[in-house]
Structure 1
Amino acid sequence: MKSRSLTLAIIGALSLPLLAIAHANGRSGTVTPIFSQPIPNIPGKSVKALVVEYPPGGSSPAHRHAPSAFIYAHVLSGEIRSQVNDGPARVYRAGEGFYETPGSHHGVSENASATKPAKLLAVFVVDTDDKELTTPDKE
């Protein structure tokens, strides 16, 4: 039971920067950590998963993820507009996904709809020791 409590505490601490990003623009979304586990056959690496929910018109400010983070994002519902690095902004619909390589800049992350909510599953493969999963750009 101690192991589960420790895991939940670690997940909670890792999600704080993500929660700050989701709430920074006044059109707050929610970030819910749902999984965190070291990868047994890749020492020093972990898988972390979270759900990001955007209200209608909600967005996150531009940001970077942990330098080691490879991320796969899968739209669970609604439509998400995303721009990674210098690529074009693109709208992803439920069932579609995209990825971010380590060191990528996420310039746009927002609900593409002003009237319907959107939900995204983000799965990180990251160095186990990385504490900050997301860092907003300095303004």
Structure 2
Amino acid sequence: MVYPPGGVSAPHRHAKSAFIYAYVVSGSIRSQVEGQPSRIYKTGESFFEEPGAHHLAGENASQTEPAKLLAVFVVDTDDKELTTPDK
């Protein structure tokens, strides 16, 4: 996923079976999962999200530079919706 400067992902939930590994390819990403503090991850850092996680914040931490995030989903084949936006 490429985040333009100041780019934001809407809050969402992940599939009940989805284990997610995320790696910051470039720039810096601010991320927060429900029940955990917000954190900024920089180029070369990684994090994971547990199955069914409620992702409250995902955004480019910079207002001037783009950021790129590689996310790998390990999910049951029956789960078709990987993310569901909050309403």
Taking structure 1 as the reference length, what is the TM-score of the superposition? Answer: 0.61
Matches of 2:22 and 2:67 in 1, distance apart? 13
Structure 2's unaligned 5+ residue stretches are none
Alignment partner, residue 31 of structure 2: 82
Q: Aligned with 1:110: secondary structure?
A: strand
> Do residues 116 (structure 1) and 79 (structure 2) align?
no
Alignment partner, residue 92 of structure 1: 41
Higher helix share: 1
What is the aligned-residue identity percentage?
71
Taking structure 2 as the reference length, what is the TM-score of the superposition? Answer: 0.97
Higher relative contact order (CA 8 A, sep 6+): 2
- Note the C-alpha offset of 1:129: 1.7
- Note the C-alpha offset of 1:72: 0.4
Name segments (4+ residues, structure 1) moved above 6 Å.
none
Matches of 2:8 and 2:66 in 1, distance apart? 11
Q: Aligned with 1:127: secondary structure?
A: coil
Higher strand share: 2
Match of 1:134 among 75, 83, 86: 83
Structure 1's unaligned 5+ residue stretches are 1-51
Matches of 2:35 and 2:62 in 1, distance apart? 23
> Do residues 66 (structure 1) and 15 (structure 2) align?
yes
- Note the C-alpha offset of 1:86: 1.5
Deviations 1:1-20 (CA, angstroms, capped at 9, x unpaired): xxxxxxxxxxxxxxxxxxxx
